């Protein structure tokens, strides 16, 4: 019987390091999205704008 009680207590006790990461967990994904924007999306928009200007001229 003691075997089952120790299992139940082990499951009920939260781990010491199992906290919600909060805003710190968002830093890496937001950084990756910003890098993609500045490295891929923004230059493509500039190139499309220049191309449109050349076609209209």
Quick one: DSSP state of residue 9? Answer: H
**DSSP-assigned letter for residue 23:** T
Dihedral of the alpha carbons of 22, 28, 30, 32, in degrees to the nearest 10: -170
Considering the entire predicted model, what is its pTM?
0.54
Domain limits of the chain?
Answer: 26-57
The per-residue pLDDT for 38 is 96
Q: Token digits for 34?
A: 């910003």
What would the pLDDT profile of 12-53 be if each residue is shown by its tens digit? Answer: 556 555 566 778 889 999 999 999 999 999 999 999 999 999
């Amino acid at each position: 019987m003691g075997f089952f009680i120790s299992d139940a207590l082990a499951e009920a006790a939260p781990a010491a390091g199992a906290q919600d990461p909060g805003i710190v967990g968002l830093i890496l994904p937001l950084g990756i999205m910003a890098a993609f924007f500045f490295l891929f999306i923004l230059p493509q928009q500039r190139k499309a704008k220049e191309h449109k200007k050349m076609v209209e001229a």
